Amino acid sequence: MDNKKDNFKRIAEKRTNKIIESISKLQNLTNTSFYEYTDEQIVAIFEAIQKELDKQKKYFNNDKKKSKKKFEL
């Protein structure tokens, strides 16, 4: 049983850190020397991220509606 707990902890930490790193990289898009964006695009990005976070949180509460829809602007 401890093996399952250890596996979960190891994999969860690795995946969570990858997600945090990826989200942090969004900050690079704020460089207006290279990028131009609208407020609507920013809202769409963060709404999509929040929607996916909410959906994944439900999985841990046994509400397993699965969707593989990719985000597009």
pLDDT computed for residue 44 by the predictor: 98
Long-range CB contacts for residues 48-57, cutoff 8 Å, separation at least 24: 49/23
Whether pTM exceeds 0.85: no
User: Average pLDDT in the 12-37 region?
Assistant: 97
Q: Of 30, 32, 67, which is closest to residue 52 (Cα–Cα)? A: 67
In angstroms, the CA 52 to CA 62 distance is 15
Q: Which residue carries 């509606």 as its tokens?
A: 65
pLDDT tens-place string over residues 43-73: 999 999 999 999 999 998 875 556 667 778 8
In angstroms, the CA 6 to CA 14 distance is 12
Q: Are 16 and 10 in contact (CB under 8 A)?
A: no
